[in-house]
A and B are shown apart, each in its own frame.
Chain A
Amino acid sequence: MDDRTLTARALHGDAQAFNDLFEIYFPRLFRFALRRVADEDMAEDIVQSTLIKAMRSLSSWRGEASLFTWLCTICRHEVHDHLQRLGRGPEVASLSSIDDAPEVRAALEALSAGGDSPERALERAEISGAVQLVLDHLPGRYGDVLEWKYAQGLSVAEIAARLRTSIKAAESTLTRARLAFREGYSSL
């Protein structure tokens, strides 16, 4: 089920649709906030405020931007407000994202040059971070199905069961997810 359908159903009071939305976006938003504030309790508060505000204005999301992009916009404001309340003020470095992170891009460009530098372990961690960042920013459940398949070793049948869909539909989702990942990762 796509985001438009899920939000439409949630707006009409469908609890399953609300739970699906929460399951898909809570972990991704939590990581998004955590990358910016580096404090799990603060990230939790920020994501809670973000999702509550999102529920109040869910009907205004029309699908021009992806739902995750829309949620991230709300989340960025929440991060900014939280940091201001703590007197930390906006920190450019802490507000980085896949869209606006020259430092991440520069690090990854350096990594792509290869070589056996002493910082190789750190570089690998950076690459892992970049892969996980791309997975978080893929549309819908693409990031989840790729992680289930390759990082957790689930079979297509198990993935289909998690998605409450057919094996054929799960295979098709995996194919589209791989394409989306290639495009997202290549654009870094």
Chain B
Amino acid sequence: MTLHHTPDSDSDFEVAQLIRAAGSRPAPDAERATRVHEAVAREWRAQARARHMRRLTASGVSLLAAAAAVFLAMRAGSTVAQPALAPIATVVAAHGDVTMEIAGGRAAAAAVGQTIAAGSNIRTNDGSRATVTLIDGGELRIDAKTVATLVDAHTIHLERGAIYIDSGASTPGRFTVRTASGTVRDIGTRFEVRAGDHDLRVPLSIKVRDGAVQLERAGRIDRALEGTELLARADGTVSTKFVNPFAADWAWTTAAAPPFIVENATLEAFLQWAAREGGWTIEWSDPLRQRARTTILHGAIDGLTPADALDAVLPTCGLSRGVVNGRLRLRPL
């Protein structure tokens, strides 16, 4: 089907004419909709209850500890605020031992599917990583040897280690990362914040993969753009250096994430995932995009890097790949 590429107003007129001529799409009748809604809502409520119970079970020990603390404090005549338990995030990947501590409670192992309340503290050890999705959109990936607190759905306090934020489609400027050496705000982006775990002279570094972030410290604001690493030194100076969006330094962020589900995914979705995780730009052609949209994949790529996953999947689709200066080129075998 061809829509002529005339100036926008003409083209918009053409779209309007077509849709007007086609008319409204047939809608299922209201009775049918009500019946299905009731059945599906029942299931949704049952699932929501089950998730809630799992959450309560997981945090039961912590809640008892918190309740005991409140009781003792009240006996001593103090006023103690109720711990904030509103869920603000969900664990979507936990590789290795990841522990979570809810607002002063005892630490418990974090599990996939578990929700996280405001004020929760997350810790990873030498070999563990995790990813959580935030309730208002955006994804937080946590590297090994990290201690971070989810203050609320938009604020993370990074004590040490590294986190990676993909703000996704959420409103730019929503996420704030607080560290001892300054506060980092996103401006619609994917970025890594690393604090106090590698070089005492550089207590804070920020790598920006897409978009931009700004660092606020001691009354000064520095901005870091895409492809930049910003180094905030202990002596108060700040410098920047170039960083490739496809460098090996980013590999931990994929290792922290849930695996891509290849089974029944389109080749297009797989390529978009691989390009996003690898930091590459795909050189699409119309025939390639068409082919990618209609090719359905089967199998699994758990544990593979984006590059290894491409090498495993593409030959099964009759394709090979080359990467030149961050551009992913696909060719027929």
Contact = CB atoms under 8 A, between A and B. Distances in A.
Contacts of A27: 25, 27-28, 33
Contacts of B32: 30, 40, 44
Interface stretch (B225-233, B241-249, B264-272, B322-330): B264-272
A77 to B, nearest CB: 9
B2 A128 contact: no
Interface residues of B, number: 58
A25 B134 CA distance: 23
Interface in A134-188: 135-136, 143, 146-147, 149-152, 178, 181-182, 185-188
A151 B24 contact: yes
Given A22-B40, A55-B43, A182 B11 contact: yes
A99 B135 contact: no
A172 to B, nearest CB: 14
A44 B21 contact: no
Given A62-B92, A135-B19, A151-B20, A26 B3 contact: no
A178 B12 contact: yes
Interface of A is mostly: helix
A99 B25 contact: no
A119 B44 CA distance: 47
A108 B15 contact: no
Contacts of A147: 19, 24-25
Contacts of B44: 10, 18, 55
B278 to A, nearest CB: 14
B260 interface: yes
Contacts of B39: 48, 52
A56 interface: yes
Contacts, number: 153
B19 A52 contact: no
Contact of B133 (A8, A131, A132, A182): A8
A27 B36 CA distance: 11
B3 A60 contact: no
Contacts of A150: 15-16, 19-20
B137 A12 contact: no
Nearest to B134: A8
A44 B12 CA distance: 35
Given A8-B133, A13-B48, A56-B43, A100 B36 contact: no
A95 interface: no
Nearest to B272: A64
A18 to B, nearest CB: 5
A127 interface: yes
A132 B1 CA distance: 14
Interface of A: 2, 4-5, 8-13, 18, 22, 26-27, 30-31, 40, 43-44, 47-48, 51-52, 55-56, 58-60, 62-65, 69, 73, 99-100, 108, 112, 124, 127-128, 130-132, 135-136, 143, 146-147, 149-152, 178, 181-182, 185-188
Given A44-B35, A131-B22, 12 more contacts: A10-B44, A11-B51, A30-B28, A55-B40, A128-B21, A136-B25, A146-B15, A151-B22, A178-B11, A185-B1, A186-B3, A187-B290
13 contacts: A10-B44, A13-B51, A26-B36, A27-B33, A48-B39, A58-B47, A64-B270, A127-B21, A131-B18, A146-B15, A147-B25, A185-B3, A185-B18
